């Protein structure tokens, strides 16, 4: 990308993303371009799902297939099955430096993602079954998982409508912050590093190279 276009893009992104400095946005764009090129993609198109899943695994330590897919769709705001550079940086701003409120909204969006704004009993069942399988390959009975669903709804479904709204989710998490990722880890580990580039991504802190170049 030519410098003039890059500078214009940085300025545009910084108007809406306040958690990164201009120099950091510059580095994240360069990182994005490198990742796209390595995957054989196009900068204007962005990162496809498989490439992004690879990033979640290698950089952010995520291993759960279901949750990696859900995180992809949470990043992909325009639902075109690619993560463009703006979606990339806005998503990372929540991942690495998001406020508690931003992380609340992000996790809730990861968990429902069927378009209706609620986490249904069926989704809770699928996510709990998947989460339990990740912890232990031994198959959990559907009856046992259904009991866990009932317990979860009893704890989080404050309006007793059989599903979890954002208001329900927020109230439950504010009461017990451990419930933020109750249906599986969808935020990065405490420390993450991209091994093949100079910029190092660390949760809550973006380490710039000493010479301030990427």
Residues 106 and 153 in one domain: yes
Is 121 a domain residue? Answer: yes
DSSP of 70-132: HHHHHH-TT-SSSB-HHHHHHHHHHHHH--HHHHHHHHHHHHH-SSSSSB-HHHHHHHHHHHH
Residues 169 and 121 in one domain: yes
- The pLDDT value recorded for residue 188 is 84
Is 212 a domain residue? Answer: no
Which CATH number do you get for residue 76? 1.10.238.10
Residues 23 and 85 in one domain: yes
Is 93 a domain residue? Answer: yes
Residues 84 and 159 in one domain: no
- The pLDDT value recorded for residue 198 is 45
- The pLDDT value recorded for residue 196 is 34
Is 79 a domain residue? Answer: yes
Residues 168 and 193 in one domain: no
Instruction: Note down the domain range covering 147.
Output: 101-181
Sign of CA dihedral 185, 188, 190, 192: positive
CA distance linking residue 28 with residue 199, whole number of Å: 8
Domain count, the chain: 2
Residues 69 and 125 in one domain: no
- The pLDDT value recorded for residue 212 is 46
Residues 39 and 74 in one domain: yes
Residues 89 and 27 in one domain: yes
Residues 62 and 15 in one domain: yes
Residues 136 and 192 in one domain: no
The answer to whether 6 and 26 are in contact (CB under 8 A) is yes
Is 213 a domain residue? Answer: no
Residues 93 and 113 in one domain: no
- The pLDDT value recorded for residue 138 is 64
Is 141 a domain residue? Answer: yes
Residues 89 and 194 in one domain: yes
Extract the residue ranges of the chain whose pLDDT is less than 70: 135-140, 189-214
């Amino acid at each position: 990308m030519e410098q003039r276009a890059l500078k214009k893009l940085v300025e545009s992104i910084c108007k809406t993303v306040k958690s990164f400095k201009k120099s950091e946005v510059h580095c994240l764009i360069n990182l994005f371009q490198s990742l796209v090129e390595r995957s054989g993609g196009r900068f204007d198109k962005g990162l496809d799902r498989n490439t992004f899943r690879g990033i979640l695994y290698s950089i952010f330590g995520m291993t759960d297939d279901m949750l990696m897919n859900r995180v992809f769709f949470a990043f992909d705001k325009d639902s075109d099955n690619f993560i463009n550079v703006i979606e990339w940086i806005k998503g990372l701003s929540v991942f690495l430096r998001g406020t508690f409120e931003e992380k609340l909204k992000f996790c809730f969006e990861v968990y429902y993602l069927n378009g209706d704004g609620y986490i249904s009993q069926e989704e809770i069942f699928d996510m709990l079954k998947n989460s339990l399988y990740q912890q232990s390959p031994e198959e959990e009975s559907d009856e046992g998982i259904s009991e866990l669903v009932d317990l979860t709804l009893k704890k989080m479904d404050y309006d007793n409508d059989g599903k979890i709204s954002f208001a329900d989710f927020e109230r439950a998490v504010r009461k017990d912050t451990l419930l933020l990722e109750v249906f599986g880890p969808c935020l990065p580990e405490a420390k993450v590093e991209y091994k093949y580039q100079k910029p190092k991504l660390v949760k809550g802190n973006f380490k710039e190279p000493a010479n301030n170049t990427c």
